[in-house]
Amino acid sequence: MGIGNIGIWQLLVVLLIVLLIFGSGKIKNLGKDLGGAFKGFRSAMNEVEETDRELRKSDSKDPGTPG
């Protein structure tokens, strides 16, 4: 049981090696940075959706220009 042909024990060994190389402090900082990036992305997507809603609302109020 694992991802593809990789089992649980292989994943644990890789995790242990990464922890030994980078240390827990750098991994914690990486997690914070990644979380901040996701939060910023989500915020930007919400702004885009809000702007899109406002544009659609203003388009529906505007009868348009004769073509």
Q: How high is the mean pLDDT in each 10-residue block of the chain (67 residues)?
A: 75 90 84 92 94 88 58
**6 within domain boundaries:** no
Number of domains in the chain: 1
- Does residue 63 fall inside a structural domain? no
Residue 4 lies in a domain: no
Q: State the DSSP string of 3-57.
A: ETTEEHHHHHHHHHHHHHHHHHHHHHHHHHHHHHHHHHHHHHHHHHHHHHHHHHH
pLDDT value at position 51? 92
* 7 part of a folded domain: no
The whole domain housing 38 covers: 23-58
Task: Please report the pLDDT score of residue 64 as a whole number.
Answer: 57
Q: Is residue 65 part of a domain?
A: no
Residue 37 in domain: yes
